[in-house]
Every structure is written in C-alpha cells, then in structure tokens.
Structure 1
Amino acid sequence: MTTPKIALVKQEVYQDLYVCPTSEKDAGNILFSSQGRVGPIGLMAELDADFYIVHEEPQWETQIYRKVIPHLAKHLYLLKTQTLDKLPGQEFKRPGSPHANGDFAVSCYAVDWGAYDIVISINVSLPTRLIRQYPHTLFAYMIGEANMATRTARFGYDVTLNQLARGIVAERCGAVDFPYTFVSGDTLERLLAAKLGRPSKSRGVFMEINSTRERPVTRVPEHFRPLVEEAGQEVLLHRQLIAENLESIYDAKYFIKMGGRTIRGNSVAEAISLGTLAIMNRDEVIHKELITDACNVKTMDEAVALVRRLETDPAEYARLLDEQRQNLTRLFFHLPLKSLANCLKDKRRRNRPAPYNAVSRVLDHLAFIKGLHF
C-alpha cells in the first residue's frame, strides 16, 4: 500500500494535543508539546503527516466544539492566547508547550488541501464550503470526545472516525473505526528511546490514573499496596506533564488498572506501544481487544499472582508483551490505515464528493441543535 500524504488539523480552541508550528517535523518534539494526551502521533511518527493548528472560523459547523465539552466551552477562546492551565478549573494541568495554540495558528484558507490525499480534522476544523473545493482529497473528522457524531459522516465530510478499534475494515466512505491513539506496537517506545537516549529501565508498576479518584495523584492507594508488599514492586504514579508521564510508563515493566471508572483504553494503547505489559480487568475498558486473555485479571490478588509468576519467567513476559504489541499494531495502525485507503479509493472512483444539498444541511442543523449523539 502506497503511503498516502496526510494532514492532521485542529482548531486553536481545542484543549488537547500538540502545540507547535507546522514546520516542526520531529515527531518526538510534536508529541512532547501536547496539552494532554498522546493522540494520533503515529500519523507523524510513522507516516510523515503534516500537522496544522487553524484559526477558529465562524461557520456553524466549525462551532461544533462548543457542544463537545459544554462546561469548558465558554473558556476555550482563551487557548488562542493562553495555555491550558490558565483556564478556570484546569489549573492543575501541565501542558507540554509554553505556547498558546494561537501562537502557531494559520488560516485554513491559506493551505492547499488538494496537496493531500487525506485530511483528518479533530472536531470540525474546516468549513464545509472549503472542503467541497477539493474533490480528490478525502476529508475525515473525529470529534474529540468519543461516541459523538460517529454514525453518519456529516457537514460535507467523507468520513467520521469513531475512536473504535474492533478490527472492522471500511470499504467505502462513512463511519470508520479509527482510535484516538493511533500508534503501532512500538511507535512510542522508539520515540522515547530517541528523546531520552537510553533504553527502558523496565522495572516497577505504573498505576493507571483512573484506578484512583485523586487528582493530581500523589500517593499509592490502599488497594495497590499488595503489589508493593507481596510482589515487591515499586508503584509509579501518573504525572501531569506528558513527557514525564510517558517516561514513567516507558520505564515501568507493568501497567496496571484496577478499580475506578471504566476507561476507553487510550492509556492502555500508550503503555503497550511504550513496551510495558498491560494488566487489568477487560470488563473495565472499552478497547477490550487490547487486553489479551493471559493479562485479563479480575482482582488485585490475580494481578499480584501474575506479576510474581512473570518475574520468574522472563520468556513468558516477552511472549505476552509481543502478543499485545502485535495486536496493537494490527488494530490501532494497519487496519485503520487500510480503511482510510479504501475510503480514498471509493471517493476517487466516484470522482466527486458525496452529495451534499439543502436536505443534508437541514439534517446537520437539526443534529447540531439536538446535540452530537447521532
């Protein structure tokens, strides 16, 4: 499969992902500039994609972000001139860049989107009228929060990315399985090794942040104590700065989630890509496919027993980690990329954008008024 030319786009009012100029081509620098999550860094690290921050536009479809996280919506304009930790209620955050989104934002009208095969927008960054001018480019959007606007591609876009990774390959434009954390089995490990200039220490247990309610996390919760007292493991805690947090996971040998709320599983994908074995109850993660059978534990006692066994059997540890890596590469990289390639072929075979008329606009407006769960 020929590697498509891809652009990733976010608005200057988006509260996550990278804060850097388009001229930045070092994927490690891009990753460490994130305001929070790892996101689809595989686009830049593996596929040499370009990354853009664009100015907020006034069209109604580009204002979808206001519906995504309503409690923050009235403050997000501040990201044009300030960092995330300056927003009310976000003071505990530690964004990876000292710059505001707006420092690097460009006009979406100043970019030749026709130079790309695929353009992926976080939320709806580009106006419908603009993208309709590029009939040979595949335009996809991914709403920043999962489960929103995932059933039907709207706003004149060709594809909606649903943040799932079920192994379903799309054959034509529409809804597509594509995870927020788009990485291969060793993408993050290679980036961290290059940035740190050393291999992983491969010791201790990193506790997934949602195993506790404490924010920021400052202490090992009581239910994780058996890992220390019975398995002899140091427990590493979540850190607010993305570079420091990824380094902690990179240096850990095990990544364990136990108790707390159900998670989507982006952190699990990150851990595996960093070369850290993920252990948890499969019922507590939406991306169930990441937790292979041998690492699916229901109690802390089971987790402790597994860690103790693997400490005496390095070959089995290596086998289980390799199994998770292969699984991640297939579900979080190869198959989503294949889906986008199929959608691109579908659009170019039709040689025109999908129909978008007055009825389409009315339906999108109605969906916008009702909310994004459509």
Structure 2
Amino acid sequence: MNKLKIALVKQEVYQDLYVCSHEEHDPARILFSSQGRVGPIGLMAELGADFYIVKEEPERETQIYRKVIPHIAPYLHLLKTQTLDKIPGQEFKQPGSSHANGEFAVSCYDIDWGKYDIVISINVSLPTHLVLSYPNTLFGYMIGEANMATRKARFGYDITLNQMARGIVAAHCGVVDFPYTFVAGNTLERIMKGALNRPSQKKGIFMEINSTKERPVTQVPAHFKPLQDKGFQIILHRQRIAENLTCIYDSKYFVKMGGRSIRGNSVAEAISLGSLAIMNRNEVIHKELIIDECNVKSMDEAVSLIDKIERNPELYRKLLDKQRAVVDRYFFEAPLQSLSNCLTEKRNNRKTCKYGWFDRLSDRLCFFKIK
C-alpha cells in the first residue's frame, strides 16, 4: 500500500479530541492536548496525517453536530473561546489543553484539500459544495456519537465511518468500519515511552472507568476488593488524558468488571499501551478484543486468571502479544485497507462523485431523523 496523505478535521465546536495548531506534528503533544478521548491518533502517529480545527460554517449539513448531543448543543459555541470544563454540566472535565478550540481554528476555504488523498471529518466539518469541488480526494465523516447517520454516506461525502471494528474490509465507497480509536497494537506504548523517556513500570491493575458509576472516580468499588485482598494496587481513572494514559501505561493489567457495557475503545487503548485486558466479553461491543484466554465471567475468575499469569511471566507476554495482534488487525490494518480501497474506487469511477437532487432531499430529511 502506497503511503497515503491524510487529513483529520474537526470543528471548533466539537467537545472532544485535540486542541492544537495544524502546524503541530508531534503525536504526543497532539494526543495530550485532547479534551477527553484518545481518538484516531494513529492517523498522526503511524501515517503522518495532518490535523485541523476548522471554523464553524453556516451550511445546514455542518450544523448536524447540534443533533448529535442535543443536551449540550446550546453551549458548544463556547468552545470557540473557552475550554470544555467551562461548559455547563462539564465542569468536572479536565481538558488536556488550556487553549480553546477557536484559538487554532482556520477557515476550511483556506486549505487545499486537493493535496490530500483522504480527508476524515469528525461530524460534518466541511460543506457539501466544498467536498464536491475536490473529485480526486476521498472524503469521509465520522459522527462523534456512534450509530448516527451511518446507514449510507451523506452530504456529498464518499464514505461514512461507523466506529465499528469487526475486521470487515470495505471494497466500495459507502459505509466503512473504522473505530473512533484508530491505533496499532503498540502505537500508544511507543508514544508514552517517548514522551516519558522510560519503560512501563508494569505494576498494579487499572480499573476500567465504566466498572463504576462514580464520576470522577475517587474510590475503589467493593467488587474490586478481592483483587486488593490479593495485594494488587487498584489504579483509578484520571480526568486529564496525559495522567490517565500514564497510569494505564504503567499498569500490568486492565480490568473491566460490572457496570455498563462498553464499545471497547478503552480496551484497544489499554492493549496498545501494553496492559493486558481481562474482562467479560459480553460487556464489550468489540468482542474480538477479548481473547478466549482473558474472557472471565466473574471477579473470582479474574482473580484466578491473574494468579495463574503471575506465576508464569511467559504466559503474560504470550497473551499480550495475542491481544496486540487483534488490535493491529481490527483497529488499524483492516480500516486502513478499507480507506485505500475506497480511494482507488473513487479515482477509477467518477460516478461516485455525483450528488443529485434526490441525495440533497434525502440528506435534508436526515436532519429530522438521524440514523
């Protein structure tokens, strides 16, 4: 696969991901500037992608973010001048950057999108008419919240990224499996090792945040006490991303038990950081991440498995390597191949660039009911 020139784009009103200049190319500094989640940092760390924050545009399609998380939509304009923790209801957040999105926002019309092979937009950052003016560039959007506007590609874009990671490789433009956390099996470990200038401490057990309802997490829940009784330190979630990633990087195990079911991005991140993930596969949408050997149904089973692994260091390395191979395949190689295939199809078949009256009508109706 030839090296692809890629751009990742978000609007100045988006409440997640990185807050930095498009001139920043250090993956660690980009990652640590995030308002919350890790996101598709592999685009920058593995593929050398450029990252842009663009100004909010008035077109209807670029306003779809108001439908995505309506309970805070009235306040998202504040992100142009303030940090996430200043938004009502988000005061407990600790964004990685002290800067507001708007400080780094540029006009989408000032960028030559034609110099990129692929442009990935979080929500719909670029107006339809602008997207259609670059027939050789593959444009995709990923709605910030999963399962929205993913049944077909809309708004003149070629692909919609559905946040799934099933190992399905797309052969055609349209719906594409592409996880919100796009990383290879050791992407995050390499970033952290370089940023901290030291190897992992490999100590303790990091408790996945959704094992408890408490926000922010301040205490170990009772159902994790059996692990404490065995002498393991239980490491709790931190609000600031650099601190949290450091904790996971230094942990030996990453355990999710109880609480709500999760998509699995945090699991992929833990594995990429070099922590062995142990949990009930039925509590994770991305079930493939939980290999058979690490699939436990109760805390007793988790304790028993960790006891077994502690007595056999070679088993630990074997299981971690196996998990990393899964992340490589599902969270990096398959989605990357899908992008490449869709780009080839677009450039070989100009019919994919057409956007007629029916498409415009269908996309307008999408504002009334997003699926």
Question: 2: CA distance between counterparts of 1:33 and 1:3?
Answer: 26
Asked if structure 1 preserves the Cα contact closer than 8 Å seen for 2:132 and 2:353, the reply is no
Question: 1: CA distance between counterparts of 2:31 and 2:296?
Answer: 31
SS in 1 for 2:353: coil
Question: Which runs of 5 or more residues in structure 1 are unaligned?
Answer: none
Question: 2: CA distance between counterparts of 1:255 and 1:3?
Answer: 34
Tell me if 1:262 matches 2:261: yes
Asked if structure 2 preserves the Cα contact closer than 8 Å seen for 1:62 and 1:124, the reply is yes
SS in 2 for 1:75: helix
CA shift digits 1:325-348 (9 cap, x unpaired): 011001100110000000000000
1:1-374 equivalent positions in 2, closer than 5 A: 1-229=1-229, 231-351=230-350, 353-370=352-369, 372-373=370-371
Aligned residues: 371
Asked if structure 1 preserves the Cα contact closer than 8 Å seen for 2:135 and 2:353, the reply is no
Question: 2: CA distance between counterparts of 1:176 and 1:271?
Answer: 24
Asked if structure 2 preserves the Cα contact closer than 8 Å seen for 1:135 and 1:353, the reply is no
Asked if structure 2 preserves the Cα contact closer than 8 Å seen for 1:272 and 1:328, the reply is yes
Asked if structure 2 preserves the Cα contact closer than 8 Å seen for 1:256 and 1:279, the reply is yes
SS in 2 for 1:51: strand
Question: 2: CA distance between counterparts of 1:265 and 1:228?
Answer: 25
Question: 2: CA distance between counterparts of 1:168 and 1:223?
Answer: 36
Question: 2: CA distance between counterparts of 1:352 and 1:137?
Answer: 14
Amino acid at match of 1:78: L
Asked if structure 2 preserves the Cα contact closer than 8 Å seen for 1:162 and 1:179, the reply is yes
SS in 1 for 2:7: strand
Question: 1: CA distance between counterparts of 2:232 and 2:195?
Answer: 26
Asked if structure 2 preserves the Cα contact closer than 8 Å seen for 1:54 and 1:125, the reply is yes
SS in 1 for 2:368: helix
Displacement of 1:312 in angstroms is 0.5
SS in 1 for 2:321: helix
Amino acid at match of 1:39: G
Question: Which runs of 5 or more residues in structure 2 are unaligned?
Answer: none
Superposition TM-score, scaled by structure 2 size: 0.99
Question: 2: CA distance between counterparts of 1:193 and 1:307?
Answer: 25
Displacement of 1:353 in angstroms is 4.2
Asked if structure 2 preserves the Cα contact closer than 8 Å seen for 1:81 and 1:103, the reply is yes
SS in 1 for 2:367: helix
